[in-house]
Amino acid sequence: MAFKWGSSDDYPDERFVTIAEATEILGLKTRSRVLRLIQDGTLTTYRLPDTPRVRIKKSQLLQTSQPKTESTHE
Protein backbone atom coordinates (compact mmCIF):
# COMPACT_ATOMS: atom_id res chain seq x y z
CA MET A 1 0.00 0.00 0.00
CA ALA A 2 1.36 3.40 -0.96
CA PHE A 3 0.63 6.36 1.26
CA LYS A 4 0.10 9.79 -0.14
CA TRP A 5 2.14 12.45 1.59
CA GLY A 6 1.03 15.39 3.71
CA SER A 7 -2.29 17.03 2.92
CA SER A 8 -2.83 14.63 -0.02
CA ASP A 9 -2.90 11.67 2.39
CA ASP A 10 -6.33 10.06 2.21
CA TYR A 11 -5.55 6.94 4.27
CA PRO A 12 -8.65 6.48 6.48
CA ASP A 13 -6.98 4.77 9.45
CA GLU A 14 -4.55 6.04 12.06
CA ARG A 15 -0.97 6.63 11.09
CA PHE A 16 2.04 8.53 12.35
CA VAL A 17 3.41 11.45 10.33
CA THR A 18 6.71 13.31 10.36
CA ILE A 19 7.08 16.91 11.47
CA ALA A 20 7.43 17.92 7.80
CA GLU A 21 4.13 16.20 6.96
CA ALA A 22 2.49 17.76 10.01
CA THR A 23 3.59 21.18 8.80
CA GLU A 24 1.93 20.61 5.43
CA ILE A 25 -1.24 19.06 6.89
CA LEU A 26 -1.69 22.08 9.16
CA GLY A 27 -1.09 24.42 6.21
CA LEU A 28 1.98 26.06 7.72
CA LYS A 29 5.00 27.39 5.86
CA THR A 30 7.66 26.38 8.41
CA ARG A 31 8.04 23.64 10.95
CA SER A 32 8.76 26.06 13.79
CA ARG A 33 5.04 26.38 14.63
CA VAL A 34 4.72 22.58 14.82
CA LEU A 35 7.77 22.48 17.09
CA ARG A 36 6.13 25.10 19.34
CA LEU A 37 2.93 23.02 19.48
CA ILE A 38 5.07 20.07 20.60
CA GLN A 39 6.93 22.15 23.20
CA ASP A 40 3.76 23.57 24.74
CA GLY A 41 2.16 20.10 24.95
CA THR A 42 -0.54 20.61 22.32
CA LEU A 43 0.95 17.84 20.18
CA THR A 44 2.38 14.58 21.49
CA THR A 45 5.34 12.95 19.76
CA TYR A 46 6.10 9.26 19.52
CA ARG A 47 9.33 7.41 18.83
CA LEU A 48 8.88 4.43 16.55
CA PRO A 49 11.29 1.52 16.21
CA ASP A 50 14.08 1.74 13.65
CA THR A 51 13.86 5.50 13.11
CA PRO A 52 15.50 8.37 14.99
CA ARG A 53 12.76 10.83 14.00
CA VAL A 54 9.74 11.54 16.14
CA ARG A 55 6.24 11.15 14.73
CA ILE A 56 2.86 12.69 15.46
CA LYS A 57 -0.50 10.94 15.23
CA LYS A 58 -2.40 12.16 12.18
CA SER A 59 -5.69 12.14 14.12
CA GLN A 60 -4.25 14.53 16.70
CA LEU A 61 -3.14 16.89 13.93
CA LEU A 62 -6.59 16.88 12.39
CA GLN A 63 -8.13 17.72 15.77
CA THR A 64 -5.59 20.53 16.24
CA SER A 65 -6.37 21.98 12.82
CA GLN A 66 -10.10 22.22 13.57
CA PRO A 67 -11.10 25.81 14.22
CA LYS A 68 -12.07 26.48 17.80
CA THR A 69 -15.75 27.32 18.07
CA GLU A 70 -16.75 30.00 20.51
CA SER A 71 -19.89 29.46 22.50
CA THR A 72 -22.42 32.23 22.17
CA HIS A 73 -24.59 33.24 25.06
CA GLU A 74 -27.96 34.67 24.16
pLDDT tens string, the chain, 74 residues long: the values are: 566 666 667 766 788 999 999 998 888 899 999 999 999 999 999 999 999 999 999 889 888 865 444 444 54
Answer yes or no: is 24 within a domain: yes
Whole-angstrom distance, CA of residue 15 vs CA of residue 61: 11
The whole model's pTM is what? 0.72
From the list 44, 13, 40, 10, the residue with the least C-alpha distance to 25 is 10
Assign 32 to helix, strand or coil.
Answer: helix
Residue at 57 is within a domain:
yes
Domain assignment of residue 3, yes or no: no
Query: CB atoms < 10 A from the CB of 62, how many?
Result: 11
pLDDT for position 6: 66
Residue 58 lies in a domain: yes
Domain that holds residue 38: 13-64
Number of domains, the chain: 1
